[in-house]
Amino acid sequence: MQHWPWFVGGAALAGVCVFHWLTLRRMLAVSGRFTAMINRARFGPEKQVEMTAEELRAAMLAATREAFGPDAAPDAPPTSTKPEAKAGPTLTKQQSAGMHLLFLVALLCGGLVSAFLAGGPSFSGGLRGELFNGFFGGKASSAAVLLFGGVLVGFGTRMAAGCTSGHGLCGVSRFQVGSLLATMAFFGTGVLTSLLLRWLL
């Protein structure tokens, strides 16, 4: 299997993030979508709120004055009908569970397409490498270790409020300090684990 050159993979990931923002006006966040699906199943659908940029600006100014006093938000809500006055963030409908599911399925399909382009996927029950399987006592226990690792990743992702896509791709590219620290933790732990396994095996 021939892996893509790192710069092609990097450019593709950046392209996906930009495309996601341009089409949906949302930051790419894989674990965020997964969390949204779980929350919908646990707590039911959220109340839909939609506001245009002007409505949102007026509501925010009113709420800011209420919270911090009239001096905190001295600007009057814009009454201009010029296009630039309408620019700004909006509150849009929350995406449906179907959209979240479609995204996650597309994620898997993207991985498969990439694997086929690189010479075809290879499926295995555990981590490829007899040493790894042998160290953990066979394919089944090695798969259980990987599953446990996946649970830990999920736990850490919730603790850090984001995963490698939200923090690593979107947060770091926007120079968010929390995202930089989170990404350093992700990759630092990955490198340490890899070195530890290499030393153990």
Partner 1 sequence: MADETCPHMQGCEMYEIFTFSETLAVWKTRYCQGDFKRCERFQRSARGQPVPVNLLPNGHVLEKP
What is the contact surface with partner 1 in residues (CB under 8 A)?
27, 29, 32, 36, 39-40, 43, 46-47, 49, 51, 55-64, 66-68, 72-75, 88-89, 91, 94, 158, 160-162, 166-167, 170-171, 176-179, 182
- Rounded distance between C-alpha atoms, residue 27 and residue 169, angstroms: 10
Dihedral sign of CA atoms 166, 171, 176, 177 in order? positive
* Lookup result for tokens 């382009």: 117
In angstroms, what is the minimal distance from the CB of 152 to partner 1?
Answer: 17
Q: In 3D, which of 82, 23, 28, 20 has the Cα closest to residue 53?
A: 82
In angstroms, what is the minimal distance from the CB of 184 to partner 1?
Answer: 14
Q: In 10 A of CB 28, how many CB atoms? A: 19
Nearest to partner 1 of 41, 200 (CB atom): 41
* Contact (CB, 8 A) for 140 and 129: no
Nearest to partner 1 of 53, 146 (CB atom): 53
Nearest to partner 1 of 64, 114 (CB atom): 64
Buried b (16+ CB within 10 A) or exposed e, 79-115: eeeeeeeeeeeeeeebeeeeebeebeeeeeeeeeeee
In angstroms, what is the minimal distance from the CB of 147 to partner 1?
Answer: 21
In angstroms, what is the minimal distance from the CB of 20 to partner 1?
Answer: 13
In angstroms, what is the minimal distance from the CB of 91 to partner 1?
Answer: 6
Nearest to partner 1 of 142, 186 (CB atom): 186
CA 197 to chain centre: 27
* Lookup result for tokens 């930009």: 18
Q: In 10 A of CB 120, how many CB atoms? A: 8
Nearest to partner 1 of 55, 130 (CB atom): 55
Nearest to partner 1 of 47, 198 (CB atom): 47
In angstroms, what is the minimal distance from the CB of 16 to partner 1?
Answer: 16
